[in-house]
Structure 1
């Protein structure tokens, strides 16, 4: 039997760093730094980052914990807690 296809890649979404969430009126802005981008920026829920590959899908607010930002890449959701560092890609030690 044929092997099932590999799951779609979520490397860009996993590489996103979320440093804050701000509510301005009815808008929710997420402070993100996408992989291979030099600086962080404000993005509204519903917008895309990482050359359009990653959707800022929603923000879950639960009392007592940091907001959780739900990203989507290739139809797969990836959760990011505010302040969570992205996994480091293998780099040569200095």
Structure 2
């Protein structure tokens, strides 16, 4: 990507998730975090949690939730729904 910002990262992560490649989407999420300077937003977090539900990775979902809490986004409605869905799918 030439423009590496939260919008471009979130878009490509979302495309991979919706195309049925949640593992690849999570790899891209990790790459975004390692890229430096780009922090996830509510939409990025929501997609990442949905990917965790798809691959049934509760441990990663918990780590992402910790990042969400640190960023102060844990009260967002989209995040709350994604957390509930992830918990229901995995249990």
TM-score higher than 0.5 here? no
Larger Rg: 1
More strand by share: 1
Q: Provide the TM-score with structure 2 as the length reference.
A: 0.26
Structure richer in helix, relative to its length: 2
